[in-house]
Amino acid sequence: MSVPATEPVAAVTGVRGGDLFEVVDGRMSDAEVGRAVWAVLRGTGADVEDRGSGNITARIGGLRLDVRTRPLADTGPDTLDPVVPSPERRRVLLTASGPVSEEARSVFDRVVRTLVRKGRCYTDAEIDSIVRAMPLVARYSGPEPALSDWALVFRDHYVENSIGFLLGMERAGIDRDWIFALSKGDRTLHRDRVHAWFLERGYRSDVLDNSVINGTADEAARARALGVSERVDEFIRRAHEAGRKVLVVDDGGLLAQGSGARDRGAARIDAAVELTVSGLKRIAEAPGELAVPVLNVARSRLKTMLGYNEIADSCVRRLRAILPGEKFIGRRVLVLGFGTLGARVAHLLRSLGCRVGVVDTDVLALITAAEHGFEAFPTAAEGLSAHTPFLVVGDTGELALTGEDLPLLPDGVHLAGFATKDFSLLSEGLSGLEATTVPSVGVRYTLPSGGTATLLGDGRSLNLFEYEGIPNRGYDAYRAGTLIAAKELCRNADAFTPGVHLDPVDRAIDDAGLFSAYYEEYLAGPRRPPAAPAPSGPAGAAGAAGR
C-alpha cells in the first residue's frame, strides 16, 4: 500500500550531531502515541521503558530512542463540522542517539511512519461528525445481501464525503478488506488525512492521477501510474480467485484504461458506476470492446438537478476565498461554457453583481444565454475583444483558451478553471512564458503582450484546490443516489447488457424515494409540535367564548 504524493503536513526530520530526530504533530492522545510506538517496538527485542503520558525510552542495541510528547494549542477544526470537545492535538519529539545500525534506523523510521499516519488519521469523533452530516447515505445504506460477494474499487476525490460514502457501502455489505480507494490526484485540503484513515480502516489506498488518464503526465507520473494499475489488476484477480465480483465506482479512470474490456481476462472488472461526464467521454474512447454494464450516474436527473447546484456553489465560494482582496460587484467576467455547470456559475456570478459575458460554441447554448440576459459570444476571441474581464472562468471540459487568444487577455486577468482541460495550454507548460508561483493562489504568467495572467490553483478544478469542495450535506443526496445505483447494479448484474445505462439509474432512485427523502430532510422545514388540546369543562368553554 503506497502513499499518495502529498506534502508531509505534520513532520520535520533531520540529523543533528550524528543523532536522528523527528517532530510529528497530529490529532492523537498520549495513550494513542504509546500504543502506536509499542505496536512497532513489540517483537524487535528492544529494551523498553514506558514512563507514561506517551513518553517512552527504548534501547535497540547501542541506540537509545526517546519519544516525548506535549499538548498543542488547538487551531480550529480539521473537519467541515466542528467536533465538541475538540480532539487532542499533540507534538511528538523522537530522538535517536548512539550508533545507528541498519536495523535501528529501520525501527526509527517505522515508528515515525506509524506516528505520522496516526497523527493524520481522523479520530472516531471526527468520523462520527462526517457520518451525522450524511443522513441520506445512512438511510439508504441498509444491508444488501448481494453486496457480500463483491469487491469495490472506488476512484474519486479524497474529501470527507468520500469517507461517508465508503462507510455507507460497508454498512450495505461490502467487506472493508475488499475496498481499494484511489485518489484522482487533486490537491484537496485534507487528502493526506483521508488517505491515512483509509489505510487505518483496512482499505488499500493510492493515487491514479487524472493527468495520466488525460495523457498529460510526465514520465515519472506515468511510471507511478503503471505500478498503481498493476496493483489494482492484482486486487481484481485476487477478488475473482476468492469468488467475488468487482464493482468500480469511478469517473472513467479505470475504464479509460480498458478495465472493462473483453480481452482483460481475470483482470476485467464485472460492473461499474460512472460519476462524471468526462468519464463517459473516456469510456467511449477506451481501448477494447466494453464487456461490462456501466450505470450512468453522471447524466442522471439526480446529478443534473441537485448535484450541479452544489458543485457550482462550491466553485464560486472557492473563487471568492482564493481572491479575498478582489472586488467582484460591478466588474466584468467572461464565462467559457454555458452547459450544465457553466450556466449555474454564470447565474451565481451575476447574482453577486458581476457583469457576465458567456462564450459557447453550441448555438442553442448561446440562444439560452442571450435569452437569460447574458452577452453571448461564439468564440473566446470575440468575448475577449468585446469585454475587458478581470476574471475568465472555464467550464467546458475542453481546451477553452488557445495560443491565439493569449494576446487578447487583459493585463492582470485571473483564470479560474473548473474543468481540468480548459486552461491546460498554460497548466501544461506552454514554452516561452515566464511563470511565477504564487503560494496558495496559483501561477502568474508573463504573456507575450507583456501583461500578466494568473492561473488560479493548479490548473485543475479550482473548487478542489486546497479546499474540501462540497459540504457533506450538500453531496449527501448524490452519494446516497450513487449507493442506490450500486446496490441496483450488484443485485441485478446478470440482467444488464454490456454498455452504458441511464434509465435504470433514474428508475432506481425514483423507486427508492430519494427525492422525497431529500425534500423532507433538508427543505420541508422543522415540524411544529401539535397544538395542545383546549382544556375541557366550564373554564375551557368560557375561555373559548371570550376569544
Beta-strand relationship, 442-446 and 434-438? antiparallel
Q: Report CA-CA distances (Å) from 244 to 173, 175, 271.
A: 13, 11, 12
pLDDT tens digits in sequence order for the chain, 547 residues long: 334 433 333 444 444 445 788 999 999 999 999 999 999 988 888 888 888 888 999 988 888 999 999 999 988 889 999 999 999 999 999 999 888 788 888 889 999 999 999 999 999 999 999 999 999 999 999 999 999 999 999 999 999 999 999 999 999 999 999 999 999 999 999 999 999 999 999 999 999 988 888 777 788 888 999 999 999 999 999 999 999 999 999 988 888 888 999 999 999 999 999 999 989 988 998 888 999 999 999 999 999 999 999 999 999 999 999 999 999 999 999 999 999 999 999 999 999 999 999 999 999 999 999 999 999 999 999 999 998 999 999 998 888 898 899 999 999 999 999 987 888 888 876 667 899 999 999 999 998 888 999 999 988 899 999 999 899 999 999 999 999 999 999 999 999 999 999 999 999 999 999 999 999 999 997 766 666 665 554 444 444 444 3
Sheet with 19-26: strands ordered across = 11-16, 19-26, 90-97, 63-71, 56-60, 47-50
Q: Can you tell me the distance from the alpha carbon of 91 to that of 70, in angstroms, rounded to the nearest whole number?
A: 5
- The answer to whether 252 and 279 have CB atoms below 8 angstroms apart is yes
According to the model, what pLDDT value does residue 165 have? Answer: 98
HSE-CB of 275 using CA atoms within 13 angstroms: 22
Nearest 5°: CA angle at 439, between 159 and 207?
35
- The answer to whether 418 and 462 have CB atoms below 8 angstroms apart is yes
Q: Can you tell me the distance from the alpha carbon of 231 to that of 238, in angstroms, rounded to the nearest whole number?
A: 10
HSE-CB of 342 using CA atoms within 13 angstroms: 32
- The answer to whether 328 and 354 have CB atoms below 8 angstroms apart is yes
According to the model, what pLDDT value does residue 54 have? Answer: 82
According to the model, what pLDDT value does residue 121 have? Answer: 95
Alpha carbon dihedral 357, 362, 368, 369, in 10-degree steps, equals 0
According to the model, what pLDDT value does residue 157 have? Answer: 95
| Residues making up the chain, counted from first to last | 547
Find all residues with CB under 8 Å of 521, minimum gap 6, and list them.
Answer: 135, 136, 476
According to the model, what pLDDT value does residue 184 have? Answer: 93
Helix, strand, coil tally for the chain in percent (to 5): 45, 20, 35
Q: Can you tell me the distance from the alpha carbon of 55 to that of 545, in angstroms, rounded to the nearest whole number?
A: 77
Q: Can you tell me the distance from the alpha carbon of 21 to that of 105, in angstroms, rounded to the nearest whole number?
A: 11
According to the model, what pLDDT value does residue 213 have? Answer: 82
> DSSP character for 290?
B
The grid cell for 456 is: 488560479
R_g of the chain, CA atoms, integer Å: 27
Handedness of CA 473, 478, 480, 483 (dihedral sign): negative
According to the model, what pLDDT value does residue 422 have? Answer: 86
Nearest CA to 420 out of 445, 455, 451, 388 is that of 455
- The answer to whether 155 and 248 have CB atoms below 8 angstroms apart is yes
Q: Can you spell out the DSSP letters for 467-506?
A: S--S-HHHHHHHHHHHHHHHHHHHHTGGGSPSEEE-HHHH
Nearest CA to 309 out of 372, 360, 351 is that of 351
The H helix count followed by the E strand count for the chain is 20, 21
Q: Can you tell me the distance from the alpha carbon of 206 to that of 134, in angstroms, rounded to the nearest whole number?
A: 25
